[in-house]
């Protein structure tokens, strides 16, 4: 599968919000309730992607993986605004459609938004594929764990 990595473009907030929700449904069906990708959730994702496709804030790095002109993956890092963050940068998300997984696009997205920088992230404990991906990229658990708010538990990883 040939893909390209690029920044998000103005005017594609709706398409990227839909992609974001589709990846959530593919990844979390059976763990999260269907309300996680309903119309209300879509409105929130459109707001999020409107910001990400607009003028970036300092420290934001956002990328889109595209195949034949259609987005198949997304990733975003930012400066961690939390109290006493374990790393300055946090991987806020990286999602890839199932059809694009294993193509190298996920790695290319991570490399684009993070490179070799130290970072932290939260990953669903019940997502072994993502946990293995992060382990291959040098992330290790901190021992921190909390309910995700939608189902399952998240664990914090750092590198």
Q: What is the pLDDT at residue 129?
A: 95
* pTM (whole model) above 0.75: yes
Is residue 126, in this structure, part of any structural domain at all? no
Number of domains in the chain: 1
In tens, the pLDDT along 4-59 reads: 999 999 999 999 999 999 999 999 999 999 999 999 999 999 999 999 999 888 99
Task: Identify the CA nearest to 23 among candidates 80, 105, 82, 79.
Answer: 105
Is residue 77, in this structure, part of any structural domain at all? yes
Residues 21, 111, 10, 72: is their CA dihedral positive or negative? negative
Are the C-beta atoms of 104 and 65 separated by less than 8 Å? no
Instruction: Domain of residue 43: give its range.
Output: 4-117
Is residue 131, in this structure, part of any structural domain at all? no
b/e 65-80 (16+ beta carbons within 10 angstroms → b): bbbeeebbbbbbbbeb
Is residue 122, in this structure, part of any structural domain at all? no
Is residue 103, in this structure, part of any structural domain at all? yes
Q: What is the pLDDT at residue 82?
A: 85
Are the C-beta atoms of 153 and 28 separated by less than 8 Å? no
Is residue 155, in this structure, part of any structural domain at all? no
Task: Give the domain CATH number at 10.
Answer: 3.40.630.30
């Amino acid at each position: 599968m040939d893909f390209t990595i690029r920044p998000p473009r103005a005017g594609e907030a709706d398409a990227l919000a839909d992609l974001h929700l589709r990846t959530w449904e593919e990844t979390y069906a059976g763990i999260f309730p269907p309300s996680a990708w309903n119309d209300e959730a879509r409105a929130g994702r459109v707001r999020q992607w409107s910001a990400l496709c607009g003028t970036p804030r300092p420290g934001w790095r956002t990328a889109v993986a595209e195949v034949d002109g259609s987005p198949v993956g997304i990733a975003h890092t930012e400066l961690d605004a939390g109290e006493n963050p374990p790393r300055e940068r946090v991987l806020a998300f990286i999602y890839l459609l199932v059809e694009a997984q294993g193509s190298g696009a996920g790695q290319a997205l991570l490399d684009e938004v993070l490179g070799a920088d130290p970072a932290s992230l939260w990953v669903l404990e019940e997502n072994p594929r993502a946990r293995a991906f992060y382990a291959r990229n040098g992330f290790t658990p901190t021992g921190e764990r909390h309910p995700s708010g939608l189902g399952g538990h998240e664990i914090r990883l750092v590198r």
